[in-house]
Structures are given as structure tokens and as C-alpha cells.
Structure 1
Amino acid sequence: MLPLRTIRPRPSRAAGAALLAAGALLAPVAPASAVLRGSPVPVADHPALAQVDNGEGTICTGALVAPRVVLTAAHCLLGQRATHVVLGRRTTSDDDGGQRLRVRRQAIDPGWIVRGRAILNADVALLELEARPRDVTPLPLIDRADAALIAPGRSATVIGWGVGRWADLDPDEEHTGLNAGVIGAGELRAGSAPVRSDRSCDAFTRRVARSLLDDGSDDSVLAPDALCVGAATGSPATVACTGDAGGPLLVETPRGPAIAAINSFGAARCVGNVSAYTRLLGSPARRWLDRHLVAGRLVRHPKPATSGDRPAVAHR
């Protein structure tokens, strides 16, 4: 049996501390022997990609999906607010240009669950901006006509401002658990990875759940809308790393690039061979997004009643 590594979500240190406080520590999984991290890409080729900022620095990646709305991961906003997004900036450095836009309010999918019968389910959130970015066309979400593009074995693009290798993190930090490192001056990187089968993805989330569900809960429903990408154990693959949380999984449609899923979690220390995303085709997360994105605007709905582990929608 291979040695085990810890699984964790993908925010930077600021977001990771909030997750740790919530008790969202995830479980072990065997690592791959080698991982390719992708390569730097021109930000001009991906103008709709956004850095999500909490006022202290970049915490996650996101994507413009409407003229004034950015899509990112729910766990990026746990215990904190996004104050700004930055588009068109090559790195996460403050002096590297780009459009810096203030966030007016944020909404988190109420189906997002950290602990309970589903793990990291519906890990999506929307950020409404105070102003529209200049000369940026939003990225579309995939539709049913694109379903074949996320079939097992098809190639998709992993992209974000996360670190490209574990050595990019501060060597003086203790890189364990959810406080593992910072983004630093990360640059936009991308690479391809094959879509995993539902069976393979389910096995991956079950290994996570064995540690997460430590209260005897039924683990028969685990991340039901997860979409996993990565190579078989022992094979090289591009995987998401710290800071890539909330970033889109891109597929090439006849109409151009579209978002198939949103980055959620993966292996600690960026050594695993699998990245887990929230699926956006035919999922509860997609239904929530369609309900809240109307005519390109973030629509406010009445807060639903809470039930069990399902947190109420957060409009802030």
C-alpha cells in the first residue's frame, strides 16, 4: 500500500484558516509518483479569469460569467468576504496591472455542505461587482449539447493563479492540513488533464470521506455532483494547487471555451494525481446558478429554510 497524504480544499492561507476553524479537515489519499503542473499562459488569452481578493490579498481564482458577476468556489468565502476581484493581471502581485473591481455582494449556494452525508457538494458562489470590467467577454457555462466534452478520457483545461509546484510556497511555513502555504506572486498557469470516470471520482471522494465522516454518518452519498480530472496513479497529470480554488475547468466547444466545472479540492502538498471539481451540467449547483443569474444579473431570492447540515444561502 502506498503512503498516504492529506486531502484539503484549495484556498490560500487566509481561506484555509477559516476552513480549519470550521472543522473541514479532509482525509488521506495515495499520491501519484509524478505530477505535471502546467505552464504559464498569457493572461490576455484568458481575459475573463479573475483573482478573488479579500482585502489582504488573492485568496482564490474565479471567472466572469456575466457582465458584472464572477463565479468562484463557496469554500473560498467561508468566514470571510471577497472585497475585490482583479481581471487581466498576470500575477497576484499588486503592482502587476489589471482591472481591480469592488465586490458589491456575494451569494453562496445553500446546497454547499462541509460536513454531513455529502462532502464539498455544490461548492459554488457568485460575486456581484459594483462596475462592469472593460472589454471583457464573460465565459459561458457548458450546456447539454456539450455533454460529450466531459466524458471519461476527454481532455479539459485546468487553469488558475495557484502555485506551480510545492516549492513555490513559503519554506518557513508548516505546510500541513488546511493552513498549507500561501499563494505568493503566483502567475496564471494552465494545463490539460483527462476527465475521470464517475466510478473513479466516487472512489476518490470516499477516501476523503472516511476521515471527514468520523461521526458514524451514512457515507452513501458523497459529492454527488463532483467531476474529477487527472491521470491514473503513477502517471503525470496537471492538477490544481493552492490558490486555484474556484477556478474553472475549461472545455473547447464549437462556440469557444466554456466552463464545465469549478475547482473544489484535491491532494495536500499538490502531489496527488486527481483534482475534484463541482460539476455544472445537470447538477443542483447548476440549477442554483441558473436561478440566481437572470439576464446577466445576480438576483436576490428569499432565504430558504435550513435543514440539517444545509446552510442557508448567504447574500452579503
Structure 2
Amino acid sequence: MSVSPTRHRLRRITSAGLVASAALALVGSAVTTATAQTAPDEERARPGAKIIGGVEQSNGAHPWMAALLSKGSGNPADRQFCGGSLVSDTVVLTAAHCVTGTKPKQVEVTVGRTVLSDKRQGQLRNVRSIVSHPRYVKGNEAYDLALLELAKPVTGTAAVKMPTAGTDALLRPGAQATVIGWGNTDTEVPSFPDRLRGVNVPLLSHAECTATYPGYNKAVNVCAGVESKDSCQGDSGGPLFRKVAGRTYQIGIVSYGEGCGEQGAPGVYTSTSSKKLWDTLAESPEGKRMKQLLRR
């Protein structure tokens, strides 16, 4: 199944995820997920990987970067459907919409790989469990966060750092942040090489975000981007980050946007600085499990 990109407010998942869901629906439980991912206000599909307006990243530049792959024997570049980031040796952070309805046995994760098709790079891991933010599960899509517990630790790789919950020191409007991923680079004629790409994007004020997205939740979201520089399909779940004093802090998770790189339509990210995002984990057993995995 292939779904063409649209200009609507949609999630930034690749068609590999949609294809996997459709195939799994034939054997049972994923049928509702496949249906949801084709809806106008849900996942936006594409067949490959890049960032809008970005540049290729060198091998080893982001050792904590992760790619979510549909289980299978094909080229990893064709099976990648979302990004993620290593936040501990056994946990990968991604967007909840990337894994809604997905079972651990249906996905695998590669960490530290720059060129998806180069199996010599990085470390490949199976997934032991998947836990999504309890508020996202209950229908509040602003809480677009999930954790993948890996079946075996990733060794010799430092995790990306997370901001202190409740602080906004890294979110100053106008500051430059970087988003990386294997998402689409061309909304007119899609182009999808399998080397990781990145682009610098300006952080925007909550007022600017609300002007484009009336349902934007400033308590748990942040937005960034400018015309021709943005995340796109296939970048969902990947990191928005800043480097400060030699340290890399992930400040956001790629969530949704209207089109890609369009004027007046920035990308929206789940804010990892949000105190409310983390405090509300205590509302359910699933949330408490997330806190346990994160040790926050």
C-alpha cells in the first residue's frame, strides 16, 4: 500500500510503517492501525527517507540516533518508517504515533547507523516492549511520545542528554536547533537516499505556532522551522536537539506539521522539557512503567 504525501496537518511517518501495518492486518490485530494511518489527520506516508533543506551527516556524527525498522529481510532503507534516539543503553525514545498498534515482535531498531543500507554500521536490536504516553493512548495527541525497551543493551554508545523537566532555557525563540532523520527531502518529486541528513531550524514562539495550528498545546509542544527547512515524512519520532557547551540535548520529538517546509507552517515537536509531559506519567500503570524505564 502506498499513500501520496498531502499538504494537510499530518504525522511524519514513512510508508514503510503503513505497509507493515497493512501486512500485519492480514494476520490480525493491526487492522485498526492500518486504517487510522491512512486517515487525513493521521500518518502521512512516503516510500523513503530525507530531511527538507538538509545536508548529509558524516558517519558517527550522531551515535545515539536510532531508526525504527519493520521486521523483515529486505533492505533496511526500505523498511525504515520512523526515527528515534537512545536515551539509555536499553531504551529508545520515539513518537507514539509511530508505534500505535504495533507489537514488539513487529519492529527492530538500529542505533548508531548513518547509512541505513550499511549493515556494518551501528547495532541492531530487537524490541522487548513498547510503552506510549498514557494521555496519547487516551486520545490526547499532543502527548506524542513512546519508549521502546530493547531486548539487549546498546554497548559503547552514550545516550543523548535530556533537558531538566520544567525548564525552557533551551527553547528561546530564534535560537537554532537541529533536526535529523531519513525523511523526505522533496515534496514535489520525492527523493530518498539512505544516508542520514540534518538541517538547522529556528525555534519559534508559542504564539507563532498557535497562529498556524489552533490546537497547538504549548504545555507539551514546541515548534521550529522556516520555509524550505523542516522535517518531513519518515522523520517522525526523530530528535530535535541543540548543542550547548559541548553537550547535545534533545529538546523535541518530531510529531506533525502541515506540509513540509512550507511558508508559515513549521514543524511541531513534543517538548522533552515539558514538566507536564513527565508529571502526567503518574496517571496510569503504563506511565509509571515509562518513568521506570527512563529513571526520571
Range into which the TM-score falls when normalised by the shorter chain: 0.7 to 0.9
2:36 corresponds to? 22
Amino acid at match of 1:279: S
2:13 corresponds to? 11
Q: Which has the higher contact order (CA 8 A, sep 6+)?
A: 1
Unaligned regions of 5+ residues in structure 2, if any?
Answer: 1-5, 22-32, 43-50, 73-78
1:283 Cα deviation from its structure 2 partner: 3.8
1:223 Cα deviation from its structure 2 partner: 6.6
Matches within 5 A, 1:1-316: 5-16=7-18, 21-22=35-36, 24-26=39-41, 37-56=53-72, 57-82=79-104, 83-93=107-117, 95=119, 97-112=121-136, 118=140, 120-143=141-164, 147-166=168-187, 169=190, 185-206=193-214, 222=217, 224-231=219-226, 236-254=227-245, 256-268=247-259, 271=262, 273-287=265-279, 288=281, 291-292=288-289, 297=293
1:275 Cα deviation from its structure 2 partner: 0.7
2:76 corresponds to? none
Separation of aligned partners in 2, 1:286 and 1:227: 15
Helix, strand or coil: the match of 1:150?
coil
Separation of aligned partners in 2, 1:291 and 1:255: 32
1:204 Cα deviation from its structure 2 partner: 2.1
Separation of aligned partners in 2, 1:7 and 1:89: 30
1:130 Cα deviation from its structure 2 partner: 1.1
Amino acid at match of 1:10: R
1:185 Cα deviation from its structure 2 partner: 4.6
Amino acid at match of 1:274: P
Kindly tell me the number of residue pairs found equivalent between the two proteins.
255
Cα deviations across residues 245-278 of structure 1 (Å, max 9, x unaligned)?
A: 0011101223601110111011336646411101
Separation of aligned partners in 1, 2:288 and 2:229: 33
Separation of aligned partners in 2, 1:281 and 1:75: 20
Helix, strand or coil: the match of 2:211?
helix
Equivalent pairs: percent with the same residue? 27
1:113 Cα deviation from its structure 2 partner: 6.0
Separation of aligned partners in 1, 2:269 and 2:205: 13
Separation of aligned partners in 1, 2:70 and 2:94: 13
Unaligned regions of 5+ residues in structure 1, if any?
Answer: 28-34, 171-183, 210-220, 300-316
Change (3 A) 1:142 1:239: same
Name the TM-score, length of structure 1 as normaliser.
0.71
Helix, strand or coil: the match of 2:81?
strand
